[in-house]
Structure formats: C-alpha cells, structure tokens
Chains A and B, each alone.
Chain A
Amino acid sequence: MNKLLIKGGRVIDPSQHIDKVTDLLIEDGRVKAIGNDLAADDAEVFDAGGLVVAPGFIDLHVHLREPGQEYKETIATGAAAAVAGGFTAICAMPNTRPVNDNASLTRYMVSKAQEAGLARVYPIGAITRGSEGTELAEMADLKAAGAIAVSDDGRPVMNSQVMRHAMEYARDHGLVVVDHCQDTQLSAGGVMNEGRISTLLGLKGISRAAEESHIARDIMLCELTGARVHIAHLSTAGAIELVRRAKARGLPVTCEITPHHFALTDAAVVGFDTNTKMNPPLRTEEDRMALIEAARDGLVDAIATDHAPHHEDEKMLEYDQAPFGVIGLETALGVALTVLHHTNGVALPRVVEMLTAGPARAFDLAGGTLAVGAAADVTIFDPEREWTVEPQQFKSKSHNTPFGGWRLRGQVVTTFVAGSEVFRVQ
C-alpha cells in the first residue's frame, strides 16, 4: 500500500492547532497532505466519518519485561498491546533483568522491537549502574545506542549528590532525567496511600510527603544543574502544586499523570484486590481532582500508562506481599476519554495533546504530529463508542488491571505506524 486517504474524520492535531473535519492523505509512509476534498485515484480510502483522526499516541512510561521476565510481557506482546491502545511509540523503562544500563542491552531492545514491527519502542537507559543509585551509568553510550532518556524508575535515586551529578552529566549529553519521586525511607514498607483508608485496612501507608519532598528536591536540583527533569506519575495535589510553581519559574520541568491515578482513589483498595496496588499508590478524591484540573488547565505534559505487567500468580498474594503495578496500554484512551472528557469536560484536543504532542515535546521524540512530511503514525478512535473491559481479551500477556469489567466510552478503531495498519478493532 503506497497511498492511503483517510476521509472525513475529525482531525485533531494539537501540534498544529488543527481540529476540523477534513481528509488526511498518506503516501509512502508519510503524511502527504491535510485538507478538504483530497483525492487520489489510486489511494486506498478509509472512511473516518464520525471518528477522530489523531497523531499516533506516545507513551513515555511502560515496562516491557524483556529481557528477564518474558512470562509477564515481551517486547513483541508489549508492542502489540501498545498499538491496540492506539500507541504508536512507547518508552521502555530500564528495570528489566538485567537492568538496561548498557548499550548492548539497549541495542537488543531496539532490534527486538524492529522484529516485532508494531509500535516504535524507545528504550530509556538507567541513571545509575544496575539502578543501584551509586555510580552513574554510561549515559552517552546509552544514548548512542538509542536510549532517549534516563531513569531509575521504581528505584528512586535517594542520594542527592548522585542525582545532582546525574543531572549535570545528562544535561551535557542532551538527555532528559526521568524520576520516580519517592523518599524510600519515608515510604518504607508502605503499600497504599497513607490516610483514612490505610488506617481502616491496617495496611502500611505511603505519605504524600514521601512523594512531594522528593519532587521538591528534584526541582531544586533542576534549578541547580539546568538539566531537563521529567517527573513521572504525579499522584498528589501537592505534587501538582510543586510542578506548577517550577514551571511558572521557567524551569525545564515536565510531568506525566496516569489513567489509574485520575480514575481511581484509595477507596478502591477496600476489599484487598491486589490490582489496586501500585506505586505511587492511589490517592484521595482531592488528589484525583487536582490531577484532572492539571490535565484540563495545561499543566500536565503527558498521560503515561506506567504499564506494569505482572503474572496472575504473583498478584494472587497477600496484599502487602503482592508486587506493585498495573497494566494500562489497552485501557488508557478509554479511561482518559471516560474520566477526563466525558465526565469532567476536559476538551478532546487537550486529551489528544497529552497523548501526542505533549509527550513528544517532553522527550524530544519524532512523532506526535500530522505535519506534512512526518512519519504517518496515526491513531483513529471513536470518542463515543462504549465497550466493556475484558482483560482476558488483551494483547498484553498480563491481565493485572483495576479496570476489568468497567464500561468505558471511547475506543481505538485503527492504528497506523508509518502508514501501515498495525491494529484494527474487532
């Protein structure tokens, strides 16, 4: 297929401030034209009437378990889950086994993704060797091999001096530092948000202060070093406030929020379903509403899933013993549209921006745009179509979602990567 004409869809491309019903012409894997009544005699025609045509979604935060834990997810199954969720590009966190702290592992991941031929996979390298928080990983080498950012996600860098040097070094090499912000001494042993519900359930809590104090430190180090800092998965109202102030002062700080944090609160933990155990934990309604407000008013750069596959047997443990994390690639759009757009009135272009142009800007990634000449990564979705989440139908190898059985409004219809169809809804 050389030419594809997507006709009559509502094209929303926040990178170009486009939101109108029009046509999109793709030629040889690139965007050829956007405009009314485009015609191409030899093009395949896709009737997008009633559908939204958007740049392919970009997820800044996923966990693919390859290498090391392929029984949870592989790069190929993760990429399949991604395109089923409308994501044409995903950034893979380095906490594989072994940790992605070296160029050969980064290259291995890139080649596995190319073999799969679905979503683009951008590896994130480790900040420190083995993500142990002491010695810096070889960031320049990682970048040369294809890493697009560095992070010790899941294992916050507690040593502030190490983090300072990491930021200084990353800045020299044009790498964004992505931090999972949590003071691990304050949060030690915690398994859910600290508050009324943790007290009721007798589960050890993780205070908001554990997250916020670490964010505050990172913002100060950002100011000290001039590095670009991306705060992963904000979960509290206070965290939002800290980022708001940093941005207002012009610091190069970006941030992401996850669908589970803006859709759920710690009340979901009552009943001890381990699919509600994530890190940072589900917070309170006040925090949830602060995230939604920050999504609405433009503070949030990206919606990221923190897709974290775990095998059913591992989640079928005592709540305090089960691993943290839930999957999210295949429910992200449905949850985002249901909660942000349909329930809380966040404008559709704003939701699309957090899935496309926002994440592309945060990590300087190609994509997130339908600009003429750009690779034709396109996601077509129906913002109204209702569907029920059936985890057993997922492309992901794992089923650990808190949204099983939820009725969502908004579904991905078709996903194109470089002009090739890689997913179509059944």
Chain B
Amino acid sequence: MAFNRKDLLGIRELSVEEITTILDTATSFKEINERPIKKVPTLRGKTVINFFFESSTRTRTSFEIAAKRLSADSINISASTSSVTKGETLADTARNLQAMAPDAIVIRHPSPGVPYQLARLIDASIINGGDGAHEHPTQALLDAFTIREQKGRISGLRVAIIGDIRHSRVARSNTHLLTKLGAQVRIAGPRPLIPPDYESIVEDSSDALLVCNRIEAAIEGADVVMMLRIQRERMSEAFFPSLKEYSIQYGLTLKRLELAAKDAIVMHPGPMNRGVEISSDVADGNRSLILEQVHNGVAVRMAILFLLIGAEGE
C-alpha cells in the first residue's frame, strides 16, 4: 500500500499499484461520509489551498469538503486571469503560494502543464485539479472508483467515452486509467473533436484503445457509457455543423443505449447539456450514476489528500 509521491499530477505517471492504493483508500473514506458525524481528525493542523484559475464549483467544493472532513484547514483562492495577463510569472505565483506554507495545493488551470511546472518550484504537494485539455486525475479516479464499486472490477470492461475528446482532460485521464487497469476504451465523437493520433497515447498497442467512427460502434456491447460535455463556447470554431446535428448524431438516447450491454451504466462528469449530448430520460434513468460520481468524488479526494500529506511518520 505504498504511495510515495510528493504530488498527484496525472494518471499517466501512476502505476497500477498506486491507482489501486488510491481506490482502496477511498473505499475506507467513503464509509466516513456515510456516518452521522462526517469528520475525522486525520489532517488536523494541515493546510490545503484550493487554487482555481477556472471556475469550477463542483471540483472545488468537492476538495473543500474532503479537506474539512479530514479536519484540514482549507483555503480557496481564485484568479480569473493567467499569470501572463497579470504580469506575473509562474515563479512569482509559486513564491507567493510557498509563502503561505501550505501542505497541499489543489490547482486548476486552463493551461496544460501548470501543475507540473509549479510542482518543480513548490515544496507542498501539488494536486492537479484539471489542467487545460491535459489531465484531470481526480475525476478519472472517482470515475474508476464508481465503476469498480458498481461492476466489482475494471479489467475486461468495455467503456465508451463519447463527445469532445479534443478539449477533454477527463477523456485523457480516463483513457490512461482504464486501459492501465485492463479495460477496453472506445472513443467516439465528431472527427474534428478527436485529436490526432489518439489511438497511440496509451502504451499498450493492442485493442485497449479504439477510436470509432460512429457512436453506435463505441456503444455496442459497452459496459460503461461515459458522455462528455459539449462546450458550446467552442461552436464558433466549426468543429461540427450545429448543436442540433450533434445531438442527432452523437447524443445518448434511450434507443442508442439499447445497443450497450444489458446492465450498462451511464456516466457524465458534468455539468450536462441535457438534450445535447445526453437526453433527460437517460440522465435521470436508472442506469445513470451521475450523482453517485459526485458523491464518490469526496471520498476519492479524501484518499488523495491522506496519501499525499497525511501518511508520513505513521
């Protein structure tokens, strides 16, 4: 059960053992979240900074609750602009954060790599809370946790990930994690929203990762169908003709879901565009685990904080 990292930056660097350690640890923390008094003294005296360059109430709140349930002091800092527009360098940002002497910093940033750059400059543990279109490791871990809890395993499952893969850090982190744990990942979406050479991003060159031309091919026989949000703000770049056509071609409906395995589950990292990538009857249907994902997010983030800053000297 060793986890000897200073930082949690991406799934790509993690071994199967490390991933399993996080998921197993989360299982024991989930139990705390179901008690009447949801608080333990594990991280008393520790300081966690949530440093968000992008608004994300969901992820930030999840980390904040996770820290508080472990009795850590949790501080939120938000910044709406990148360092370049503030006239500040990342080194300045790092020095300022360091001066607050935190134990862990959760960073969300629109530019890929910022958590990696800061991790080289800061002594505190850096947790990547999402960096541009690169990685979102805690989301992938909570997704895997949810799948494992429902299905009892990840190895051998067929997981369809559908939508805007190009701009999705969730897709990348999930692709790494699920293929590492032995699942088959099938990707589908409009081709302009699938980045070049996506098939080659995992080490395993066999059929662990498939890019499908049509959503039906990805869903066929899938055990898990994970829908991604279409980012309306990107519509101007002509990635696909219209939201209407998108929903017809790539939206998840009850009828399309029939192609999946009989006991298939439906996931979405949120926030959803109902009626675009997912119909309401699917989103609210009995296959949907969307709220369970949110619930599990707290336990997974507690596990990560504990493994990074709580386990030393014990």
Contact = CB atoms under 8 A, between A and B. Distances in A.
Interface in A186-244: 194-196, 198-203, 205, 207
A387 interface: no
A209 B90 CA distance: 33
A318 B53 CA distance: 12
B197 A320 contact: no
Interface in A46-60: none
A318 B117 contact: yes
Contacts of B198: 199
A205 B196 contact: yes
A42 interface: no
Interface string B11-54: 01000000000000000000000000000000000000000000
Interface in B89-114: 89-91, 109, 111-114
B112 A201 contact: yes
A272 interface: yes
Interface in B153-182: 169, 172
A423 interface: no
Interface stretch (B129-137, B254-262, B271-279, B289-297): B129-137
Interface in A301-343: 313-314, 316-321
Interface in B30-88: 82-84
B201 interface: yes
- Chain A at the B interface: mostly helix, strand, loop or mixed? loop
A313 B134 CA distance: 24
B112 A321 contact: no
B132 A272 contact: no
Contacts of B200: 196, 199
Contacts of A317: 82-84, 89-90
A199 B197 contact: yes
A202 B135 contact: yes
Contacts of B117: 272, 318-319
Nearest to A189: B237
Contacts of B12: 200
Contact of B172 (A195, A196, A202, A318): A202
A321 B131 contact: no
- Chain B at the A interface: mostly helix, strand, loop or mixed? mixed
A319 B89 contact: no
Contacts of B84: 317-318, 321
B116 interface: yes
A320 B172 contact: no
A313 B114 CA distance: 15
Interface residues of B, number: 27
B111 A318 contact: yes
A202 B89 contact: no
Contact of A318 (B113, B169, B195, B201): B113
Interface string B200-229: 110000000000000000000000000000
Contact of B116 (A196, A272, A313): A272
Contacts of A316: 89-91
A271 interface: yes
Interface in A100-121: none
A194 B90 CA distance: 25
Pick the most buried of B109, B197, B200: most chain A CB atoms within 10 A of its CB. Answer: B197
A318 B116 contact: no
A202 B197 contact: no
Interface in A404-426: none
A321 B84 CA distance: 7
Question: 8 closest pairs, A vs B, by CB?
Answer: A272-B113, A202-B134, A202-B133, A318-B111, A316-B89, A199-B195, A202-B112, A196-B197
Interface of B: 12, 82-84, 89-91, 109, 111-114, 116-117, 131-135, 169, 172, 195-198, 200-201
Given A196-B200, A316-B91, 14 more contacts: A196-B197, A199-B195, A199-B196, A201-B113, A203-B112, A207-B196, A313-B89, A317-B84, A317-B89, A317-B90, A318-B83, A318-B114, A319-B111, A319-B112
7 contacts: A195-B197, A198-B195, A199-B198, A202-B134, A202-B135, A272-B114, A318-B82
